[in-house]
Structures are given as structure tokens and as C-alpha cells.
């Protein structure tokens, strides 16, 4: 009986342990499910907010407009139908509030009871009109034609150059500036952090004596422990004004500020991982180099660095990963302009910063909300690729050393 | 072929080496200088702000005056909540991976997934927490939702540090116990865990340091912009230190006027991290020696 | 004239003395085996000849080590040049993470030689010298890690030979090799003797008997006996040497 009890409790505990260890797996799967369910929903939606229609005069040969064309028309960047494949005539914009230009308030009625009819008439009477109004006021016998608007396509999403998720009438969901902004800032960060981090790793593992190392190691750990919001704050009050003054800019919140802050934040990752790799260089290999008359420095750059190159690469890639995923610090110092940056001295906006800045305003389940989840998916995929690459590199190294 | 002059060559090699080493030394010191400039700047600006009232009072006058008490309490709640969730699960998972499962496909895939989880950016945790805990499960913006989100984020950290701690326990201890007829769980509980305990606690402290500074995951799961009262249940919203700092420095009602409070908040955050790191290092050293002496 | 002489050499790791008053002289173009139980100081002694022990913190040497008439521990000695003159082969094959060619060329390059043709000739010459040429001539650009253990060790010997040392130190060069590779390396040692002075540390009594001309027996940091290998193995003067050689301890 007792052995039975013991056996039973052993099995029970083992089951409990197994269960705990599957939670990480479960979480990853859940994250994938939730992220992609919401994110992919974007491609099932039209860029025009639900409950609104775009209508043209029946005689207008134009049947389709892309969301970018729509935006340009309503921004009056496109003013002639010929630019979108129609007749050579200038475009007349019509928004719901414009109705008062055509009809008096009495004609519309106190309860807007005649509004649908009025809109219908206006659209019918002006061949060059494009109208944007709520489906509520769509007349039963509407005399215009409702414009067919494509669902948001993959191509549009990834190659679109504009990100205005709340634009009326048509949301602009081009993630290109955000992706480029993210890569831009991260690349800058790694260009700053890699030489510095590598130098520190070499110094700590090969040059400094044990006492100096014992002091530096916890300091680097501390650097890793400082919350990102504190880095962001530091960047905001020190680095941003400094950049503004140095380059005489209208604003100091720039890609450069983001790169500097992210570079500092990526340092601990790069240093710790490459230092580990270099310290793993077999002593005999270093001795063999020295025994051939090589100096310590020659040994470092001809033997130690090549030997630990995969570890160093892993550190650099993980550093980039950190930078790409970092949210708060970037949000606070890059100025968050959703345009494709041309220099490092312009404001940029990264994917994580966009999510953080906009999710609070996006209505639950709406197009904007889903678009932000789609951004989350992109981020997730990028970091997953980075993780798998690092894994692959470190596995290959093990194989090499056999 | 003329051989290079030995002495000239030696001189050149020495010269190259000392230049290279000096560059590396200077760059390393530069990094340390960056760290110290961040720390000393925030300490310098913040130390005048921090006093008993700052820590124990509610924010006043649009958060430009008064204290940060609710943010401190909020962060404490979140740290406690996330650790209640992540610590036991993480430790159990690590025990399973290190003591029970043999090297193979299961261990490899669990490890891979844990690594993947660790690599996911914190903002994605925020998205996930919002859609699962806040919306789907209907917890709303609450300490519960925030704690669970932070707990998931801390899970890989706890698992990793615990695994390291367990790995450091010499196999002879296990063999000795198993040889006496103890079961696997008895061995783990009575022999392995007590030896690994200090290192596990070190991991716990480090994850507390990490969790207390995270902002992105709590943005949409718990954090309140301004809430001059303390949470009364786990379904309440709460303020939190890192979010408070973010709000004060970017979108407060009067950014200039709230700067001192921001410096004070940043300093409190830094102090938390410093204490966590010192404590962890101290524990490591203290118990490291103790184990050796035994 | 001796190639290597050590006079009253003491060596310390921190407070503990690893070598006690070692006096020994080695003739040119001979193979000298250093034998003794592990921890007896034979490896430490070997590493004095190219100042490899300098790399270990907290060590101290007293006495003189003289190579080609010069005290190598005197002030102002150029250690890089010394190490060029005194090559070393290690216990385990330890090729660099480079191609086979670059492994052998390494010593030339770090010593300031840039002439491509000269390097190519020297590399080929030395790989032939260690009887590895036929096995690797088609894959000189491949990683040295692709070679077998025995091939790697011969490559490491070639690497040491490429900078034309006059002394070669070998620290248990065959302990990680299989018997066939071991015998190849031993043959090589026998041939190299005509050009180089070789000092070899070995655990393997038969090996010492096969390859060396003179043998030094170390015990607890002291040189117990030093004589021709024949004498040491057939007619040792000290009882402890006899016991060790016949396998009564060690």
C-alpha cells in the first residue's frame, strides 16, 4: 500500500513537472494564435471604415480606386479624373458636411430625414463628384454607383509608403516606413555597439587582469539591468538636446538618438556573449600561437577572434534582435514620424514604438487594432528568425569543434 | 628571401600590440564611463527629490508635485503577482528539464520553445496580454492581467537561472541519494534543491529586477495614467513606476514642471535594480564560499 | 658545446616549489626524453625552454637556462625570437581555426614574412618534411579541423618546423593518438633528429626507449637521474628510477 502511494505520488509529481515545462511551449503557441488571428484579419478588411461608402456618378467610367488613390484624391493631391483612369475632368470632392453647400437646412430636414435623398441627388447631378458618407444616409434608390474598394492586399501592406491608420476616408496601412525605420535605427545601433562591445569583450577576456575583470563584469550586468524606460528618459533629457544642439536641428528626436540609446542597450548582450565565446578558446591554441613567436595581440586577432567568430556573430545578431524589439526607449527618443527616413538626423518610427503609441487609441477589433497586431506578427517573425539563426550558428560551432 | 630584422620586427610587434591594447582599454573604460554617467546623472538629479513624503504620498497638481506612492505600490503588486505565477512554474519546469527528462527530442523542443519565448520582444507580450487576458478572458485592465503578462515574460528567465543552478549541483549528490533508495522526487526535494537553493533565489531576485522595470507589457494590460488611490483588488487598474516615468517625461500635463518627479521616479527604479543586482551578487558570493567550505 | 643547459633551476607556482635545483645539459641533434610520474615537474621544466610559463600568473624562476650560450631569462631577451628558435608541439593536436595552408604559414606570417612565393615554398617543404604532403596536397584550402587526429598532430609539427627552429619541444605529443598515428609521429621524430635538438615529455616508457638518446627521470620536482637512454633503461644507478621504469610505481 505504501509503495503504491509512493509510486502514485511520484507519478503525480512528474506529471505536474511536465505540465509546468509545457507552459512555455503553450505560451508561444498561444501568442502565435492570438497574434496571427488578429493580425491576419487586416487582409480581410477594406481600408474604408465599416459603415461608410464611397460613391461616384453613374456616368463616371472609374470603377475601382486603390486606397492610396483615395487618400490622394481627398488630400487633393489628385485633382483630375484622368490621373486615375477616368475622363479629363477635375474632381469634385463631397463629404457629408458639404451638403449644406447644396441644400438648405430646411430642405435637409430637422432630423436629417431628407439627407439620403439630397445626397443621392447631388451625386446624380454632378458627373465629376466623389462622395464619402455614412451608410446610414444611403438612399434606398441611390442614383450614384458605390465604388468597389479592394480589401487590403499583402502587397499594399508591405510596399505601401504611408502609415496613416486613422486617415479618412481611407486608412493608409503601408508598413514600409515602419520596417525601414526599425532596421535603420537598429543598424545604426549595432554599428555603434559592435566595435565598442567587441573591444570591451576582448579587453575583458584577453587583456585585463582578473581583478579588473571582476569589477567590470558586474558593471556590465548592471548596464543590462537598467530598465529601458530609464534609458529612454536619459536619452530624452541628455542625448536628444545634445543632438539638437550639435547638428543645429529643429528637433533632437531623431534616428540617431534612437541608435545611440539602443546601441548602449545592446552593449551588454554583445559583450557577455562574445566574451564567453573568447574565453572558451582552448588555452593550448593560444599557447601554440605564442610558441610560434606571435605576440599576444597577433594571437588575439589571428587565433582567438577567428576561433570565437560564431559566438561573436551570435552576440551581434542577438544585439540586433534586442534593438529591433526594444520599445520604450525608442518611443521616447526617435520622434515617431511615420515617414521613410533619408538621413539619420530625421525623426523615424519603429514597429514596436508604433504599437506602443497607437494601441491605446485603436478601437478594439477595428481595422487599426488589427493592423497593429499585424505589426506584432512582423516583429514576432523577425525575432523568431533571429533566434533560429543564432541557434543555427551555435550548433554549427559545436559541430566544428568535434 | 631576406629575413626581417629580428629587433625591428619585435619592436614593431610590441608597438602594434600596445596601441591595440590601449585602444581596447580606452573603449572599455568608455563603456564604464557611459554607465557611470547615466547612474550619476540620475542620482545627482534625483537624490534631492527623494524623501519620505515622495515615497509615501499621492501625486498632486497634475503629477508635478507630491509623491509616487501609488506607482510604488502598483509595481510591488505587479512584481509579487508575476512572481507568484512565474516562480513556481519556472522552477518546476526547470526541475523537469534538468532532473527528469533525458536528452532527446522532448527536452530539445521544450528548450527551443523556452528560448523562443525569451526572444520575443516585450511589446509583443503586451499585445498578447491585451488580447488574451484583457479582452478574451475579460479581466479588463487589471493587476491580474498585468501580472500574468509580466509573469510569462519572466518565465524563461526563471527557467534558465534555475536550470543553471540545478546543473551546478554535482551528480555525486544525486547518486548518493538514489543509492540509498530514495526516489527521484525525494532526491530532488531533499538533496538537489537545498544545494541549488541560493542560486535559484539569485535567479528570482534578478527576474524581480527585470520585471519591475518593464513598461511595454503593462501599457495595455494594467497601467493607469493617473490614479490617486491604491488598488483594492486584483481586478483594479494600477499605476506603475516605469509607466509613471514614461508618462511624466513624454505626456504629462506639464512636462517641465514634472521633471523633478521624473528624476525621482527614475532614481527609485535604478535603486531597485541596483539593490537586486547587489543582492544577487552578494548571495552568489556568500553561498559560493559556503558551499566550497562544506 | 651544449645546445641547452640548465643551471640550478628552481621554479615556483606561487608559494609551492615545482622544480628543485635542476642541472642538466643537452647536446645538439639529440632526442632527450623527460620521464616521471604525473606532477613530477617534467612538463613545467619543458615549458621553461620557450618561456611558456611566463603566461601563468604568479610564477617565479631562479637559476639559469642557457640556449646556444645565452641565458634566455636574462633581461632584454626578445621572447618572440626565442620562441621562433624553440618550436613546440602540444599534447593534443591543436590546429588553428584556419586552412591547412594557413596553419603552416602562420608562424611565418606572424614573424613578419610577406613574400608569397617564399611562404608557399616553405609550406610545401615542411608539409613534405612531416610526410603529410600526399595526404593533404589537394585540400590545402580546407579547414585543418577536417583532418584526422594523427594528421592534425603532424600538421602541428609542420607548423612548428616552418619557422625553422633549432630546438623542438614536444609535450606528450602522442598521448591523444591511436597506435598507428603514434608510430608515424615516432618515425618522424627519429628523422627530425638529424636537423633539430628535440626534447620530449612522455608517459610512455616504450616510446622513451624507442626514440630518445638520453633520458632524464624526474620525481617530485627533482631530477633523479640523467643518462643515456640505454643506461637508464638497462642499468639505472638509482633504485627509484629502476622502480619507475619497471612499472613498480607511477
Of all residues in chain B, what percent carry a pLDDT higher than 90? 40
Residues lower than pLDDT 70 in chain A: 1-2, 397-402
Asked if residue B161 has pLDDT above 70, the reply is yes
Sign of CA dihedral B32, B33, B35, B36: positive
Q: Which residues of A touch B245 (CB under 8 A)?
A: 229-230, 233
Task: Give the pLDDT confidence of C68-118 residue by residue, as tens digits.
Answer: 989 999 988 888 889 989 999 999 899 998 999 999 999 999 988 889 999
| pLDDT of amino acid A399 | 47
Long-range contacts of C1-4 (CB under 8 A, 24+ apart): C1/C28, C1/C69, C2/C26, C2/C27, C2/C28, C2/C66, C3/C27, C3/C28, C3/C29, C3/C67, C3/C68, C3/C166, C3/C167, C3/C197, C4/C49, C4/C65, C4/C66, C4/C67, C4/C167, C4/C197, C4/C199
Cβ contact C83–A292 (<8 Å): yes
A87 with A61: CB under 8 angstroms? Answer: yes
A227 with B242: CB under 8 angstroms? Answer: yes
Q: What is the DSSP letter of A334?
A: S
Size of interface B-C (CB pairs under 8 A): 19
Cβ contact A288–C98 (<8 Å): no
Instruction: Say how far apart CA B68 and CA B242 lie, in whole Å.
Output: 11
In degrees rounded to 5, what are phi and psi of residue C91?
-55, -55
Where helices occur in C47-138 by DSSP H, the ranges are 79-85, 100-110, 116-129, 133-136
Instruction: Say how far apart CA B94 and CA B204 lie, in whole Å.
Output: 13
The residues, ordered by sequence, that sit 6+ positions from B124 with a Cβ below 8 Å of its Cβ are: A31, A35, A325, A376, A379, A380, A383
Task: Give the pLDDT confidence of B33-51 residue by residue, as tens digits.
Answer: 999 999 999 999 999 888 8
Grid cell, residue B94, equals 526547470
Nearest one of C57, C59, C63, C56 to C16, comparing CA atoms: C59
Q: Which residues of B touch A263 (CB under 8 A)?
A: none
Mean pLDDT of C127-149: 92
Q: What class does CATH assign to B70-293?
A: mainly alpha
What is the enclosing helix (H) or strand (E) of A53?
strand A52-56
Best residue in B22, B30, B31 for a mutation probing chain A (most A CBs within 10 Å): B31
Helix (H, G, I), strand (E, B) or coil at A66: coil
Q: What is the DSSP letter of A151?
A: P
A285 reaches B (C-beta below 8 A): no
Q: Which chains would you list as touching B if contact means 3+ CB atom pairs under 8 Å?
A: A, C
Helix (H, G, I), strand (E, B) or coil at C64: strand
| Residue B252 banded pLDDT, cuts 50, 70, 90 | low
For chain B, give the secondary structure using H, E and C: CCCCCHHHHHHHHHHHHHHHHHHHHHHHHHHHHHHHHHHHHHHHHHCCCCCHHHHHCCEECCCCEECCHHHHHHHHHHHHHHHHHHHHHHHHHHHHHHHHCCCCHHHHHHHHHHHHHHHCCHHHHHHHHHHHHHHHCCCCCCHHHHHHHHHHHHHHHHHHHHHHHHHCCCHHHHHHHHHCCCCHHHHHHHHHHHHHHHHHHHHHHHHHHHHHHCCHHHCCCCECCCCCCCCCCCCCCECCHHHHHHHHHHCCCCHHHHHHHHHHHHHHHHHHHHHHHHHHHHHHHHHHHHHHHC
Q: What is the pTM of this model?
A: 0.87
Cβ contact B115–A267 (<8 Å): no
Helix (H, G, I), strand (E, B) or coil at C227: strand
Residue B7: closest C-alpha in chain C: C78
Instruction: Say how far apart CA A400 and CA C145 lie, in whole Å.
Output: 7
Helix (H, G, I), strand (E, B) or coil at A127: coil
Mean pLDDT of B74-99: 93
Q: C-alpha distances in angstroms, A322 versus A32, A189, B218? A: 20, 10, 19
Grid cell, residue B110, equals 521544450
Best residue in B9, B28, B137, B205 for a mutation probing chain A (most A CBs within 10 Å): B28
Asked if residue B294 has pLDDT above 50, the reply is no
CB neighbour class for C145 (10 Å; exposed up to 12, middle 13-18, buried from 19): middle
| pLDDT of amino acid A402 | 38
A368 with A165: CB under 8 angstroms? Answer: yes
Task: State the complex-level ipTM.
Answer: 0.90
Q: Which residues of B touch C78 (CB under 8 A)?
A: 6-7, 10
Best residue in A182, A229, A370 for a mutation probing chain B (most B CBs within 10 Å): A229
* Chain A stretch 187-246, residues whose beta carbon is closer than 8 A to a beta carbon of chain B: 195-197, 199-200, 202-204, 207-208, 216, 218-223, 225-234, 236-238
B224 with B239: CB under 8 angstroms? Answer: yes
Mean pLDDT of C16-33: 92
Helix (H, G, I), strand (E, B) or coil at C31: strand
Cβ contact B1–C118 (<8 Å): yes
C68 with C26: CB under 8 angstroms? Answer: no
Instruction: Say how far apart CA C67 and CA A11 lie, in whole Å.
Output: 70
| Residue B3 banded pLDDT, cuts 50, 70, 90 | low
Q: Which residues of C touch B4 (CB under 8 A)?
A: 111-113
* Chain B stretch 126-165, residues whose beta carbon is closer than 8 A to a beta carbon of chain A: 126-128, 130-132, 135-136, 152, 155-156, 159
| pLDDT of amino acid B156 | 92
The residues, ordered by sequence, that sit 6+ positions from B275 with a Cβ below 8 Å of its Cβ are: none
Strand partners, A90: A80
- The residue with cell 535594480 is B273
| pLDDT of amino acid B253 | 65
Per the prediction, chain B carries an average pLDDT of 87
Grid cell, residue C220, equals 617530485
Helix (H, G, I), strand (E, B) or coil at C202: coil
Q: What is the DSSP letter of A175?
A: -
| pLDDT of amino acid C239 | 87
| pLDDT of amino acid B229 | 77
Asked if residue B176 has pLDDT above 80, the reply is yes
Cβ contact A290–C55 (<8 Å): yes
Per the prediction, chain C carries an average pLDDT of 91
- The residue with cell 628510477 is C241
CB neighbour class for A324 (10 Å; exposed up to 12, middle 13-18, buried from 19): buried
Size of interface A-B (CB pairs under 8 A): 246
The residues, ordered by sequence, that sit 6+ positions from C38 with a Cβ below 8 Å of its Cβ are: C203
CB neighbour class for B238 (10 Å; exposed up to 12, middle 13-18, buried from 19): buried
C116 reaches B (C-beta below 8 A): no
Angle between helices A367-401 and A309-325 (to 10 degrees): 170
Query: What is the CA angle C219-C222-C227, rounded to 5?
Result: 85
Where helices occur in A226-335 by DSSP H, the ranges are 228-234, 240-247, 255-279, 283-291, 296-299, 305-307, 309-325, 328-333
A232 with A329: CB under 8 angstroms? Answer: yes
Size of interface A-C (CB pairs under 8 A): 73
In degrees rounded to 5, what are phi and psi of residue A236?
-65, -40
Which of A292, A302, A309 lies closest to C159 in CB terms?
Answer: A292
Long-range contacts of C163-166 (CB under 8 A, 24+ apart): C163/A292, C163/A293, C163/C84, C163/C87, C163/C107, C163/C108, C163/C111, C165/C84, C165/C85, C165/C86, C165/C87, C165/C196, C166/C3, C166/C28, C166/C68, C166/C85, C166/C86, C166/C196, C166/C197
From A63-67, B72-76, C22-26, the region with the lowest mean pLDDT: A63-67
CATH architecture of A176-400: Orthogonal Bundle (1.10)
Cβ contact B115–A387 (<8 Å): yes
CATH architecture of A52-150: 3-Layer(aba) Sandwich (3.40)
Question: From the centroid of its chain, how far is CA A165?
Answer: 14
| pLDDT of amino acid B288 | 67
Task: Delimit the domains of chain B by residue range.
Answer: 70-293
Instruction: Say how far apart CA C4 and CA C169 lie, in whole Å.
Output: 12
Grid cell, residue B190, equals 531533499
C187 reaches B (C-beta below 8 A): no
Q: Which residues of B touch A16 (CB under 8 A)?
A: 92
| pLDDT of amino acid C199 | 95
Cα Rg of chain A (Å, integer): 30
Question: From the centroid of its chain, how far is CA A333?
Answer: 16
| pLDDT of amino acid A401 | 47
Residues on C contacting A at a C-beta cutoff of 8 Å: 50, 52, 55, 57, 80-81, 83-84, 86-88, 90-92, 94, 96-98, 106-107, 109-111, 143, 145, 156, 159-160, 163
Q: Are strands C214-219 and C222-228 parallel, antiparallel or unpaired?
A: antiparallel
Grid cell, residue A258, equals 534612437
Amino acid at each position: 500500500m505504501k509503495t503504491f502511494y509512493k509510486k502514485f505520488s511520484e507519478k503525480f509529481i512528474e506529471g505536474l513537472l511536465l505540465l509546468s515545462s509545457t507552459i512555455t511551449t503553450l505560451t508561444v503557441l498561444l501568442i502565435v494564435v492570438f497574434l496571427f488571428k488578429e493580425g491576419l484579419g487586416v487582409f480581410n478588411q477594406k481600408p474604408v471604415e465599416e459603415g461608410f461608402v464611397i460613391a461616384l456618378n453613374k456616368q463616371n467610367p472609374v470603377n475601382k480606386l486603390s486606397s492610396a488613390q483615395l487618400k490622394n484624391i481627398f488630400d487633393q493631391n489628385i485633382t483630375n479624373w484622368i490621373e486615375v483612369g477616368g475622363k479629363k475632368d477635375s474632381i469634385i470632392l463631397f463629404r457629408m458636411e458639404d451638403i449644406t453647400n447644396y441644400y438648405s437646412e430646411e430642405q435637409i430636414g430637422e432630423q436629417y430625414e431628407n439627407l439620403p435623398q439630397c445626397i443621392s441627388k447631388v451625386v446624380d447631378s454632378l458627373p465629376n463628384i466623389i462622395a464619402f458618407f455614412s451608410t446610414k444616409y444611403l438612399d434606398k434608390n441611390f442614383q450614384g454607383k458605390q465604388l468597389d474598394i479592394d480589401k487590403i492586399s499583402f502587397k499594399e501592406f508591405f510596399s505601401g509608403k504611408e502609415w496613416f491608420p486613422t486617415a479618412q476616408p481611407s486608412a493608409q496601412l503601408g508598413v514600409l516606413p515602419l520596417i525601414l525605420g526599425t532596421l535603420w535605427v537598429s543598424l545604426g545601433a549595432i554599428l555603434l555597439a559592435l566595435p565598442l562591445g567587441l573591444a570591451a569583450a576582448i579587453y575583458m577576456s584577453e587583456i585585463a587582469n582578473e581583478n579588473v575583470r571582476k569589477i567590470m563584469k558586474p558593471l556590465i550586468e548592471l548596464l543590462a539591468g537598467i530598465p529601458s524606460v530609464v534609458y529612454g528618459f536619459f536619452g530624452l533629457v541628455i542625448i536628444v538636446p545634445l543632438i539638437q544642439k550639435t547638428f543645429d536641428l529643429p528637433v533632437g528626436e531623431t534616428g540617431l538618438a534612437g541608435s545611440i540609446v539602443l546601441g548602449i542597450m545592446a552593449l551588454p548582450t554583445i559583450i557577455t556573449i562574445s566574451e564567453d565565446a573568447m574565453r572558451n578558446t582552448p588555452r593550448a591554441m593560444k599557447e601554440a600561437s605564442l610558441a610560434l613567436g606571435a605576440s599576444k595581440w597577433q594571437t588575439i586577432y589571428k587565433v582567438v577572434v577567428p576561433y570565437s567568430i560564431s559566438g561573436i556573430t551570435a552576440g551581434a545578431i542577438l544585439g540586433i534582435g534586442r534593438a529591433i524589439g526594444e520599445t520604450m526607449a525608442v518611443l521616447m527618443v526617435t520622434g515617431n514620424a511615420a515617414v521613410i527616413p533619408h538621413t539619420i538626423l530625421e525623426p523615424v518610427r519603429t514597429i514596436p514604438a508604433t504599437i506602443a503609441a497607437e494601441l491605446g487609441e485603436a478601437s478594439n477589433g477595428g481595422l487599426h487594432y488589427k493592423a497593429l497586431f499585424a505589426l506584432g506578427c512582423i516583429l514576432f517573425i523577425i525575432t523568431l528568425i533571429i533566434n533560429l539563426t543564432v541557434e543555427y550558428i551555435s550548433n554549427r560551432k559545436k559541430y566544428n569543434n568535434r | 628571401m631576406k629575413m626581417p630584422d629580428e629587433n625591428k620586427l619585435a619592436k614593431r610587434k610590441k608597438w602594434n600590440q600596445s596601441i591595440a591594447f590601449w585602444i581596447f582599454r580606452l573603449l572599455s573604460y568608455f563603456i564604464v564611463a557611459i554607465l557611470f554617467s547615466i547612474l550619476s546623472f540620475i542620482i545627482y538629479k534625483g537624490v534631492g527629490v527623494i524623501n519620505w513624503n515622495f515615497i509615501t504620498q499621492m501625486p498632486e497638481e497634475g503629477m508635478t508635485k507630491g509623491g509616487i506612492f501609488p506607482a510604488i505600490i502598483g509595481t510591488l503588486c505587479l512584481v509579487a503577482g508575476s512572481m507568484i505565477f512565474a516562480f513556481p512554474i519556472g522552477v518546476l519546469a526547470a526541475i523537469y528539464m534538468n532532473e527528469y527528462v533525458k536528452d532527446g527530442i522532448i527536452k530539445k523542443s521544450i528548450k527551443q520553445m523556452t528560448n523562443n519565448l525569451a526572444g520575443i520582444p516585450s511589446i509583443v507580450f503586451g499585445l498578447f496580454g491585451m488580447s488574451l487576458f484583457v479582452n478574451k478572458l475579460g479581466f479588463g485592465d487589471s493587476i491580474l492581467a498585468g501580472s500574468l503578462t509580466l509573469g510569462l515574460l519572466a518565465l524563461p528567465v526563471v527557467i534558465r537561472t534555475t536550470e543553471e543552478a540545478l546543473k551546478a549541483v554535482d551528480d555525486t549528490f544525486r547518486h548518493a541519494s538514489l543509492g540509498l533508495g530514495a526516489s527521484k522526487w525525494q532526491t530532488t526535494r531533499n538533496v538537489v534543491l537545498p544545494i541549488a537553493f541560493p542560486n535559484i533565489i539569485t535567479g528570482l531576485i534578478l527576474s524581480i529586477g527585470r520585471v519591475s522595470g518593464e513598461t511595454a507589457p503593462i501599457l495595455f494590460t494594467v497601467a493607469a495614467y493617473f490614479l490617486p488611490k491604491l488598488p483594492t483588488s486584483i481586478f483594479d487598474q494600477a499605476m506603475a513606476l516605469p509607466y509613471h516615468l514614461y508618462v511624466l517625461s513624454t505626456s504629462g500635463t506639464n512636462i517641465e514642471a514634472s521633471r523633478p518627479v521624473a528624476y525621482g521616479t527614475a532614481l527609485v527604479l535604478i535603486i531597485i535594480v541596483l539593490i537586486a543586482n547587489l543582492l544577487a551578487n552578494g548571495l552568489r558570493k556568500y553561498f559560493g564560499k559556503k558551499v566550497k567550505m562544506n | 658545446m651544449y645546445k641547452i643547459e640548465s643551471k640550478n633551476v628552481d621554479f615556483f607556482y606561487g608559494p609551492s616549489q615545482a622544480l628543485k635545483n635542476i642541472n642538466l645539459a643537452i647536446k645538439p641533434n639529440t632526442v632527450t626524453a623527460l620521464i616521471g610520474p604525473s606532477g613530477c615537474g617534467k612538463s613545467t621544466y619543458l615549458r621553461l625552454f620557450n618561456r611558456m610559463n611566463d603566461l601563468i600568473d604568479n610564477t617565479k624562476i631562479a637559476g639559469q637556462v642557457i640556449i646556444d650560450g645565452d641565458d634566455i631569462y636574462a633581461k632584454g631577451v626578445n621572447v618572440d625570437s626565442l620562441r621562433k628558435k624553440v618550436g613546440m608541439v602540444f599534447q593534443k593536436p591543436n590546429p588553428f581555426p584556419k586552412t591547412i595552408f594557413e596553419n603552416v604559414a602562420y608562424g611565418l606570417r606572424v614573424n613578419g614574412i610577406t613574400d608569397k612565393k617564399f611562404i608557399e615554398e616553405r609550406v610545401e617543404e615542411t608539409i613534405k618534411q612531416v610526410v603529410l604532403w600526399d595526404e593533404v596536397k589537394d585540400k590545402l584550402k580546407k579547414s585543418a579541423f577536417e583532418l584526422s587526429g594523427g594528421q592534425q598532430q603532424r600538421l602541428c609539427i609542420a607548423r612548428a618546423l616552418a619557422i625553422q627552429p633549432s630546438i623542438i619541444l614536444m609535450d606528450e605529443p602522442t598521448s591523444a593518438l591511436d597506435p598507428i598515428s603514434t608510430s608515424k609521429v615516432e618515425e618522424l621524430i627519429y628523422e627530425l633528429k638529424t636537423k633539430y635538438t628535440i626534447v620530449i615529455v612522455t608517459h610512455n616508457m616504450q616510446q622513451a626507449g624507442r626514440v630518445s638518446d638520453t633520458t632524464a627521470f624526474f620525481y617530485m620536482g627533482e631530477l633523479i637521474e640523467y643518462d643515456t637512454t640505454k643506461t637508464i633503461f638497462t642499468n639505472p644507478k638509482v633504485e627509484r628510477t629502476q622502480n619507475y621504469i619497471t612499472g613498480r610505481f607511477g
